[in-house]
């Protein structure tokens, strides 16, 4: 397939390129600046200088493509999440950016549009499993409001006659995710706190598994698909695993009422219990996570860090 990736130099974009190129696809990707263009070339894809807020530039970049992949985000660092200004660009990418990309894809008669989303939009599900038809809401936050608005663009693409595919990802982690070394550093400094009981389920996904899911989604029918590992864990367990990987003491406990002060609006969804099911994607695409649980993933990260220190 001829594929245009918007956001190929981001965490998910890089992982997707690593999965797409060996499969024989001809891939072009947006790249801002020569350093990022060189990164795209290094995996065998073609870099394209494109302004994603310029309709003409977008149409030119995706002309003749069989699929367009919107993988654009700019997530702030963990300790800056409470600053609403840190989310402005991500929210714009998810709304205006998605709208312009879909407009261009429809105008160029692109058959497939894949849209990156997040599983945090689900309402608290307690200990129950959450499939794609589970209720969603924005939690009263601009962050999730932008996510759901972006998803509507993918539905609009399907209504126009194409295949709009929404991938709702769990929390990214892995050696190539900038949040991973950040969490390791925080754990070592004892600044990675367990807020409240942290008994809510948290669904994770290894970045490389996420990239393979993007490639596997190309042949899916239109709709929503969850992308997470097989064994969501209580958030307290996730924090314990991170501390273990960092060879740090267990996270310090803080009372739950401090959650909004630490994470800002993000606390409204980080405190939700989200035990996400990946069954639909597995059944319809044949994809399955190589890293089955965060316990396996963080153990691997710990071993890789140990090997790096040994060298």
Q: Residues 40, 32: contact at Cβ < 8 Å? A: no
Greatest CA separation for the chain: 55
pLDDT in tens, 95-150: 999 999 999 999 999 999 999 999 999 999 999 999 999 999 999 999 999 999 99
Please say if the pLDDT value at position 308 is more than 70.
no
Question: What average pLDDT does this structure show over 32-48?
Answer: 93
Residue 73 has a pLDDT of 78
Please say if the pLDDT value at position 310 is more than 70.
no
Q: Give 304 or 215, the one with higher predicted confidence.
A: 215
Mean pLDDT rounded to a whole number for the chain: 93
Q: Considering only CA atoms, give the Rg of the chain.
A: 19
Tell me which residue has tokens 């939690």: 139
Please say if the pLDDT value at position 248 is more than 60.
yes
Residue 117 has a pLDDT of 97
pLDDT in tens, 251-263: 999 999 999 988 8
Q: Give 300 or 76, the one with higher predicted confidence.
A: 300
| Residue from 266, 8, 271 nearest 146 by CA | 266
Q: How are beta strands 163-169 and 201-202 bridged, if at all?
A: unpaired
Banded model confidence at residue 32, pLDDT cuts 50, 70, 90: confident
Banded model confidence at residue 26, pLDDT cuts 50, 70, 90: very high
Q: Give 231 or 306, the one with higher predicted confidence.
A: 231
Q: How are beta strands 233-234 and 201-202 bridged, if at all?
A: antiparallel
DSSP secondary structure string for all residues of 185-254: HHHHTT---EETT--SEE-EEEHHHHHHHHHHGGGPPSEEEEE--SB-EEHHHHHHHHHHHHT-PPPPEE
Please say if the pLDDT value at position 228 is more than 80.
yes
Please say if the pLDDT value at position 214 is more than 60.
yes
Q: Percent of the chain at pLDDT above 90? A: 84
Rounded-to-integer distance, Cα 289 and Cα 229, Å: 6
Rounded-to-integer distance, Cα 174 and Cα 207, Å: 6
Token code pair at residue 105? 């894809």
DSSP secondary structure string for all residues of 77-88: PGGGTT-GGGGH
**Helix 179-188 with 235-246: angle, nearest 10 deg:** 80
Q: Is the dihedral of CA 281, 67, 49, 108 positive or negative?
A: negative
DSSP 120: G
Please say if the pLDDT value at position 58 is more than 50.
yes
In this prediction the pTM is: 0.95
Banded model confidence at residue 311, pLDDT cuts 50, 70, 90: very low
Q: Residues 45, 21: contact at Cβ < 8 Å? A: yes
Banded model confidence at residue 14, pLDDT cuts 50, 70, 90: very high
Residue 82 has a pLDDT of 67
At the fourth CATH level, the homologous superfamily of domain 2-177+204-231+276-290 is NAD(P)-binding Rossmann-like Domain (3.40.50.720)
Rounded-to-integer distance, Cα 240 and Cα 260, Å: 21
Residue 230 has a pLDDT of 98
3-state secondary structure of 114: strand
Cα end-to-end span (Å), the chain: 41
């Amino acid at each position: 397939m001829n594929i245009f990736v918007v956001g190929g130099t981001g965490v998910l974009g890089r992982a997707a390129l690593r999965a797409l190129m060996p499969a024989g696809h001809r891939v072009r990707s947006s790249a801002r600046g020569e350093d990022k263009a060189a990164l795209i070339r290094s995996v065998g894809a073609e870099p394209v200088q494109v302004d994603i807020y310029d309709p003409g530039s977008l149409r030119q970049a995706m002309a003749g493509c069989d699929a367009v992949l919107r993988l654009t985000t700019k997530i702030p660092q963990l300790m800056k999440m409470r600053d609403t200004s840190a989310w402005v660009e991500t929210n714009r990418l998810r709304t205006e950016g998605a709208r312009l990309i879909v407009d261009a894809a429809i105008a160029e008669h692109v058959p497939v549009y894949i849209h990156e989303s997040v599983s945090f939009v689900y309402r608290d599900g307690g200990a129950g499993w959450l499939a794609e038809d589970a209720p969603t809401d924005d939690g009263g936050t601009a962050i999730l409001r932008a996510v759901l608005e972006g998803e509507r663009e993918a539905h609009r693409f399907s209504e126009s006659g194409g295949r709009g595919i929404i991938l709702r990802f769990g929390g990214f982690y892995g050696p190539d995710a900038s949040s991973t070394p950040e969490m390791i550093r925080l754990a070592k400094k004892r600044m990675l706190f367990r807020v409240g009981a942290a008994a809510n389920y948290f669904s994770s996904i290894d970045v490389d598994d996420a990239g393979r899911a993007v490639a596997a989604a190309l042949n899916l029918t239109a709709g929503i698909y969850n992308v997470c590992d097989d064994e969501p864990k209580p958030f307290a367990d996730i924090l314990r695993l991170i501390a273990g990987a960092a060879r740090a003491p267990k996270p310090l406990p803080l009372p739950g009422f401090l959650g909004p002060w630490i994470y800002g609006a993000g606390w409204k969804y980080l405190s939700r219990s989200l035990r996400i099911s990946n069954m639909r994607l597995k059944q319809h695409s044949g994809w399955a996570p190589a890293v089955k649980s965060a316990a396996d993933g963080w153990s691997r990260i710990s071993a890789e860090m140990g090997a790096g220190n040994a060298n």
